[in-house]
Structure 1
Amino acid sequence: MLKGKRIVLGVSGGIAVYKASALTSKLVQAGAEVKVIMTESAMEFVTPLTFQALSRNPVYTDTFDEKDPRYIAHIDLADWADLFLIAPATANIIGKLANGIADDMLSTTLLATEAPVYVAPAMNVHMYAHPAVIKNMTTLEQWGYKFIEPGEGYLACGYVGKGRLEEPETIVSVLKNIDRPGWLEGKRVLVTAGPTQEKIDPVRYFTNPSTGKMGFALAGEAARLGAAVTLVTGPVQLDTPPGVDRVDVTTAEEMYQAVHDRFGTQDIVIKSAAVADYRPAITYDHKMKKQPGDYVVEMERTKDILKTLGKEKKHQFLLGFAAETTNPLGYGKEKLEKKNLDAIVVNNVAVEGAGFGHETNAAIYINRNFEETELPMMSKQQLAQHIFNQIKLDITHE
């Protein structure tokens, strides 16, 4: 699948540069034409001559070193690429790209290219978990950049953990599969996202802090995997992911109707929305005026969307979410069984960096056999990828 592909390999500075030389060789062996850009720091570890010999092409290191006066090198290289790969990608180059900084050959060419960009991070485990790095990676993911996650193991700094550049063989395998249809090709996926709003009067309502980011990440990932995706969302301030059909609702009842009307035609339904369990029993068409003393709002139950779907499902794979603050595993397993789900994603929203409003999340995926898979703190886009990997495993083993 890489035969004839024109790949620009961006090499930034870190001990993992030695793996980038092996990666260059494997890409060439797979039939790709490779041109390498090295940062100044990368050249402290491996010389440009190594990459020139392996790629059989000139190596680019300086924005102002115009090898052919007829062309502007960084623009010509950016236009030439069918695919752009950064490996290893340091925290520095990720930060530059996420903030539009172009101060060397690699960062300048990256801003100029319209080719798909794949990023393979490599750094210290604590750097990889730093909020600034996570924020920058999340920004790039939202812009459409794809990440090849680092592996776990012994790092050059002496720490053991996540941050080691993925092996060249694995990176080549990922790139070979880019043009292949996703495993959800021909499938229909429905995702719910965001909060609902249950009004008291025209200016007041009950709601929750859900931003919809997790649901939108799931919808975007399903579309990337080839599915026909419907996203039913409550009021949020997010752009619709590419290739997703969006349905906007406000109340729990509206979300129930939107989901129920479409449920029969779906293959996978993921209910990640934070739907209100209660709504005011009485609502007013005019603004209520302040009165002396206390005011009591009588509440009534909304329809349990997930429980209804669990009763009605036939061929559908039904995944729920459980956002808890105490005993998340216990409540999650109870919800999984009581609502007849195929799987549930449980997260403790009391944990720093998880749950509503954050760019990151951590969770435990539990399938119908009560098998648990821990999904540690990561960006919500990465978590969406892991969730669909688990769904694929469960569906395959059915």
Structure 2
Amino acid sequence: MEVPDPTGVADPGFRRVLLVGTGALSVAFLPFWTNWLNNTFPEMEKRVVLTRSARRFVSADAISTLCGNRVVTDDWNDAEPGTAPHVELAAWPDLVLVHPATMHFLSRYALGLTDTPLLCALQSTTALVGVAPSLPPRAQLSPVVQAHLDTLRARPGVVVAPTVPAVSASTGEREDGGSVPLSELMGLCVGAYARTQRGEEE
């Protein structure tokens, strides 16, 4: 399947992209999106982080082959002795794309929790962070979930994509809680970056 580039620009302004997959079922499509990034933005360097729950649904070996770098598992116990993975994950990228982002991940990120290397890095990085929520059926109706999403939307340097209708794997019904395509999340981040640059120039 060919996906058009929604950014409409040859140079989106990012050089190092950290792609993050969390434990929603749609993370199974991450190899496809990694390949899409390679084909659409070949000059970008890509690295990938998977949560423990994401590794149930997607092969780290496949993604590592596609992105050309070792896939990092978001777990302090997987860090090599003497290393500081949270420091590297915060400093390396100029764009972070969390796709998909589960309700559990969104809640921890919004609350400022730092119990994994990635969450610790996201609280201190200067990179733009794009988040594509993937929510269970009717989670959108929860005031707690809405509060967490509002917190992230109000946070400088964070872009939260809207959810889209998708068929729930558990209920078989079409629900408004699916994650947008990675291409759309990328377009939102490129737009946010461009607006920031125009503001600096003005």
Give 1:94-133 correspondences, 5 Å limit.
94-133=106-145
Tell me the equivalent position of 2:165.
Answer: 152
Q: Give the count of matched residue pairs.
A: 185
Do structure 1's residue 169 and structure 2's residue 183 form an aligned pair? Answer: yes
Tell me the equivalent position of 1:277.
Answer: none
Do structure 1's residue 16 and structure 2's residue 26 form an aligned pair? Answer: yes
Tell me the equivalent position of 2:36.
Answer: 26
Tell me the equivalent position of 1:315.
Answer: none
Do structure 1's residue 55 and structure 2's residue 67 form an aligned pair? Answer: yes
Unaligned runs of 5+ in 1: 182-223, 228-242, 244-398
Q: How far apart, CA to CA, are the structure 2 residues paired with 1:39 and 1:88?
A: 11
Change (3 A) 1:75 1:45: same
> How far off its partner does 1:68 sit?
8.1
Tell me the equivalent position of 1:65.
Answer: 78
> How far off its partner does 1:82 sit?
0.2
Unaligned runs of 5+ in 2: 1-10
Q: Is the 8 A contact 2:90 2:124 kept in 1?
A: yes
Q: How far apart, CA to CA, are the structure 1 residues paired with 2:14 and 2:106?
A: 28
Percent identical residues: 25
Tell me the equivalent position of 1:7.
Answer: 17
Which structure shows the bigger proportion of residues in helix conformation? 2
CA root-mean-square deviation: 2.5
Q: How far apart, CA to CA, are the structure 2 residues paired with 1:143 and 1:171?
A: 17
Q: Is the 8 A contact 1:90 1:122 kept in 2?
A: yes
Q: Is the 8 A contact 2:79 2:85 kept in 1?
A: yes
Q: Is the 8 A contact 1:11 1:42 kept in 2?
A: yes
Q: Is the 8 A contact 2:159 2:192 kept in 1?
A: no
Q: How far apart, CA to CA, are the structure 1 residues paired with 2:188 and 2:177?
A: 18
**One-letter amino acid of the counterpart of residue 22, structure 1:** F
Question: TM-score, normalising length from structure 2?
Answer: 0.80
Give 1:238-317 correspondences, 5 Å limit.
none
> How far off its partner does 1:3 sit?
6.9
**One-letter amino acid of the counterpart of residue 30, structure 2:** A
**One-letter amino acid of the counterpart of residue 83, structure 1:** L
> How far off its partner does 1:19 sit?
2.5
Change (3 A) 1:127 1:225: farther
The structure number with the bigger radius of gyration is: 1
> How far off its partner does 1:122 sit?
0.8
Residues 13-49 of structure 1 deviation map (CA, whole Å, 9 limit, x = unaligned) = 0101023222222222213211111111101111211
Give 1:313-324 correspondences, 5 Å limit.
none
Question: TM-score, normalising length from structure 1?
Answer: 0.43
- 3-state secondary structure, aligned to 1:107: helix
